[in-house]
Amino acid sequence: MDQTQLSNRIVELKAQLSAASQQIDALAAQAAALGHPAAAEAASHGSFFITGLTVLVLACFVGYYVVWRVTPALHSPLMAVTNAVSSVIIVGALIAAGPAGFGFSKIMGFLAVILASVNIFGGFLVTQRMLSMFKKKGK
């Protein structure tokens, strides 16, 4: 008797499960409909602004504490390396220069890639040159 009860219960559960999955499909379809280009972009932009702002403020705090710990003797390398690091703007330049085809945006991207590369290579190398000169007594 126990076995029939169990199998009945399984059949019941199966039915419930399939009903639930149908509901999920329906919800997904609704979500997809909602996520039509314009609406999705507006929504994601609004929410990104808050995310971005959060990240910005927290990163400022990180920067504040990290930079105050930099020894004054290394302030010149600090400027050189922050300069190199700020060329991470190359990320934007690569996206601009990346798409197939040719156009104004691509030229802008290309120029920005050049400028940022000067900075990346120049900045990191000059920092390295400076840092390699700092030696301790007797070495």
We find the least distance from the C-beta atom of residue 38 to another protein, in angstroms, to be: 9
Task: Work out the burial of residue 51: count CB atoms within 10 Å of its CB; fewer than 13 is exposed, 13-18 middle, 19 or more buried.
Answer: exposed
We find the least distance from the C-beta atom of residue 29 to another protein, in angstroms, to be: 22
Q: Which residue number, 28 or 110, has a Cβ lying nearer to another protein?
A: 110
Q: Which residue number, 7 or 48, has a Cβ lying nearer to another protein?
A: 48
Q: Which residue number, 36 or 139, has a Cβ lying nearer to another protein?
A: 139
We find the least distance from the C-beta atom of residue 26 to another protein, in angstroms, to be: 26
Can you read off the two tokens belonging to residue 118?
């000067």
Short-list 68, 92, 86, 69, CA closest to 127: 86
We find the least distance from the C-beta atom of residue 86 to another protein, in angstroms, to be: 4
Q: Which residue number, 16 or 105, has a Cβ lying nearer to another protein?
A: 105
